[in-house]
Amino acid sequence: MPAEEDAMRALPRSLVLMLYAAAFVLAGCDCPMVHVEDDNPFPSSLRGEALSSSEIRITWCMPTDLTTTRSFVVSRDGFELARTGDYYYSDAGLDPEQTAEYQVCISGEEGESACTNTVRVTTNPGGSTFYVDPATGSMGNDGSSDHPWSTLQEVFENGLIEMKNYVDHPAGSGGGEMGTVNPGAPVKGGDVIRLRSGYHGIMELHGGYNDRFITVEADDGQKPVLSNIEMTSVSRWRLRGLTITQEESLTGVTPAQVTLVYIEPGNWGGPAHDIIVEDCTLSSIDDASSWSEADWIARDCNGIMSGAEDVLIRNNYLKNVNFGITVDGNRTVVKDNTVDTFDGDGMRGNAHDLTFEGNMVKNCIDSKNGNHDDGFQSFSVNGAPPWERVVLRGNTIINYEDPGQPLKGTLQGIGCFDGWYINWIIENNLVIVDHWHGISLYGALKCRVVNNTVLNPYPVQDQVHSIWIRITAHKDGTKSSECLIRNNICWNLSYVYDTIQDHNLQITDPETYADYFVDPDNFDFHLRSDAATIIDSGTSSLAPLFDCDGNARPYGSTVDPGAFEHVP
Ligand SMILES: [Ca+2]
Ligand SMILES: [Ca+2]
Ligand SMILES: [Ca+2]
């Protein structure tokens, strides 16, 4: 086999086809278009994992035949359990050591069709619960509720958790022999460590794999504080309800410029996968309102950076950070988080099979550090593959809420300037920024941008700030193709070649926003009941089944353009 062909074999088929296409372009072929053959991972994509003794989480990939997919039917042991538009489902309320078999099938406009593989998953046995209390604990205690340990950092340092790790290094992408770390230690896979109020130090772990999730969570009504979490080459950790901050009044230690939650694989240590970060509060400092540009540059921390696979980042609150939530690992769900006051990009997603849903990104800082701030950004550069099957759904991006906010800058909304992006769905998002890039895709294949509200209510000095939804060629000139722009409310539209665009409503005068929307001055872009030119003027074809609030579409005769269906 020729070496070149051999090298091609290691690449995703879609990328191989594009490389061939690119070769034609370079050879002067008058066909600067990319063709991608469908490489649909859906039928074999279902994974299931017990999160505890009562909960199982299943995840699957987006089918690439989007035109017939309306929702999914999740079944357990042959019976329908739920219908959802998501690519994951959490089955709670199960019994310890209960085994269940799951399958997911497409519910399409033409009835149910393709299904995934089935998975059999057993919930954990009831595990043990341990307690850690910086105020009253001692490392000589047994970790019971009445005799807690002192701090989480010392629990790790004293080897009180039994885990696994690779025997030989570099462990690469895994698969090698594993040995037990801290054999016989009291805490084991499936157990829960509950933290009480006070400073718990740093959670640092390099090489800690569990067969069952270990949960590290706040005890009821308690506010445990960590200064940062750094985990590499790890699996099955669930972090819940923790405060992670460099705020000196909470930690008692001099602030450092770190990434507050850092979860990554490593070639030496091995892969990272199956991680949950939820209900946590992250900040560089509690109150950054007096920070100068120089303070931001010298002191802001990144929020969450995750290169692990099969990750759930849910319902976290991040304040006063540089980059908010940065995802480089496949099959990650980023849901219902808030990134409030940030200097970098609010969210980044550079991997396959990502869902960013229901997140709020607001109050962008311009520290004059040269970053082009984006609410969401993705890029495929330096030899990275095209990013496939990404959903951006129901997110809210607002440049600033308070006209008096210090260090205001301009914010790009959803900025995807360095494709390729393949099979993306961008729907139900509210993008309120004062930059022309509302939603921009440079190098897009089979992407759809549907039912978004993309407007600029800010004082505009210059018509160059007429915000747009744009699908255009890759920066190398290769055309985007097979994309759809539908049912959006926006100021401006910009698209090329065979992008289908219909049922979009353009409002080019911000002075008229109050004629259409409930309270645009306070960023309420729900439709007024007398917005007759908008209500029922979209199409239900390929529209999301629910709107940004979760109301079923359509209400009335058909779908309304924009992120919010009018429901009286
Ligand atoms: Ca900035
Ligand atoms: Ca950026
Ligand atoms: Ca309607």
Q: pLDDT tens digits, residue range 476-527?
A: 999 999 999 999 999 999 887 789 999 999 999 999 999 999 999 999 999 9
Q: Give the residue among 318, 330, 324, 329 at the shortest CA–CA distance from 279.
A: 318
What's the pLDDT at 460? 67
- Two tokens at 18? 């594009």
Residue 403 in any domain: the answer is yes
Residue 35 alpha carbon to ligand 2 centre in Å: 28
Residue 498 alpha carbon to ligand 3 centre in Å: 28
Residue 92 alpha carbon to ligand 2 centre in Å: 38
- Region for residue 84 given its phi and psi (left: phi exceeds 0; alpha: psi -120 to 50; beta: otherwise): beta
Residue 2 in any domain: the answer is yes
Give the Cα separation of 302 and 143 in Å (integer). Answer: 32
Q: Tally the domains of the chain.
A: 3
444 and 537 assigned to the same domain: yes
Give the Cα separation of 134 and 223 in Å (integer). Answer: 11
Residue 52 alpha carbon to ligand 2 centre in Å: 37
Residues with Cβ–ion distance below 5 A, ligand 2: 345, 372, 374, 377
504 and 445 assigned to the same domain: yes
Q: Give the residue among 372, 321, 360, 326 at the shortest CA–CA distance from 342.
A: 321
Number of H helices, E strands in the chain: 6, 49
67 and 25 assigned to the same domain: no
- Two tokens at 438? 């509302």
Residue 565 in any domain: the answer is yes
Residue 188 in any domain: the answer is no
Give the Cα separation of 210 and 165 in Å (integer). Answer: 9
26 and 84 assigned to the same domain: no
Give the Cα separation of 314 and 156 in Å (integer). Answer: 25
CATH number at residue 65: 2.60.40.10
In the predicted model, residues of the chain with pLDDT beneath 70 are 1-38, 109-112, 460-464
Contact 485, 505 (CB under 8 A): no
- Two tokens at 284? 């560089």
SS3 468: strand
Residue 188 alpha carbon to ligand 2 centre in Å: 41
Give the Cα separation of 187 and 129 in Å (integer). Answer: 8
Residue 329 in any domain: the answer is no
Residue 275 in any domain: the answer is no
Residue 61 alpha carbon to ligand 3 centre in Å: 30
Residue 343 alpha carbon to ligand 2 centre in Å: 10
How far apart, in Å, do the first and last CA atoms of the chain sit? 66
Residue 378 alpha carbon to ligand 2 centre in Å: 9
Q: Where are the beta strands (DSSP E) in 167-222?
A: 178-181, 192-195, 198-199, 202-218
Instruction: Supply the range of the domain harboring residue 22.
Output: 1-31
Contact 62, 389 (CB under 8 A): yes
What's the pLDDT at 429? 98
Measured CA distances, 297 to 257, 285, 322, 409, 432 (Å): 10, 13, 9, 15, 25
Strands 163-166 and 178-181: antiparallel
Residue 46 alpha carbon to ligand 1 centre in Å: 39
26 and 67 assigned to the same domain: no
**CA of 527, nearest ligand number:** 3
Residue 539 alpha carbon to ligand 3 centre in Å: 9
What's the pLDDT at 5? 31
Residue 462 alpha carbon to ligand 2 centre in Å: 22
What's the pLDDT at 33? 55
372 and 466 assigned to the same domain: yes
**CA of 568, nearest ligand number:** 3
Residue 450 in any domain: the answer is yes
Q: How many CA atoms lie less than 13 Å away from 208 in the CB half-sphere?
A: 25
Residue 445 alpha carbon to ligand 3 centre in Å: 29
427 and 505 assigned to the same domain: yes
Residue 414 alpha carbon to ligand 1 centre in Å: 15
Give the Cα separation of 212 and 163 in Å (integer). Answer: 10
515 and 534 assigned to the same domain: yes
Contact 57, 88 (CB under 8 A): yes
Residue 424 in any domain: the answer is yes
* Residue 66 one-letter amino acid: L
* Residue 474 one-letter amino acid: H
What's the pLDDT at 425? 95
Query: DSSP secondary-structure letter at 299?
Result: H
Give the Cα separation of 101 and 124 in Å (integer). Answer: 15
Boundary residue ending a domain (90, 122, 154) = 122
Q: Give the residue among 204, 182, 338 at the shortest CA–CA distance from 264.
A: 204
Q: Give the residue among 287, 389, 267, 277 at the shortest CA–CA distance from 341.
A: 287
Cis bond upstream, residue 554 (ω within 30): yes
| Mean pLDDT for all residues in the chain | 91
Residue 201 alpha carbon to ligand 2 centre in Å: 32
Residues with Cβ–ion distance below 5 A, ligand 1: 343, 366, 371, 373
Query: DSSP secondary-structure letter at 491?
Result: S
Residue 556 alpha carbon to ligand 3 centre in Å: 5
87 and 18 assigned to the same domain: no
Residue 368 alpha carbon to ligand 1 centre in Å: 7
Residue 455 alpha carbon to ligand 2 centre in Å: 19
Give the Cα separation of 555 and 534 in Å (integer). Answer: 13
**CA of 296, nearest ligand number:** 1
Other Cβ atoms within 10 Å of 312 Cβ, number: 22
Residue 373 alpha carbon to ligand 2 centre in Å: 4
Give the Cα separation of 233 and 151 in Å (integer). Answer: 23
14 and 112 assigned to the same domain: no
What's the pLDDT at 40? 82
Give the Cα separation of 223 and 93 in Å (integer). Answer: 26
**CA of 342, nearest ligand number:** 1
- Two tokens at 517? 């929307």
64 and 15 assigned to the same domain: no
**CA of 372, nearest ligand number:** 2
13 and 114 assigned to the same domain: no
**CA of 561, nearest ligand number:** 3
* Helix (H) / strand (E) containing 152: helix 152-157
**CA of 532, nearest ligand number:** 3
pTM of the model as a whole: 0.93
Residue 90 alpha carbon to ligand 2 centre in Å: 33
Query: DSSP secondary-structure letter at 408?
Result: B
**CA of 369, nearest ligand number:** 1
**CA of 326, nearest ligand number:** 2
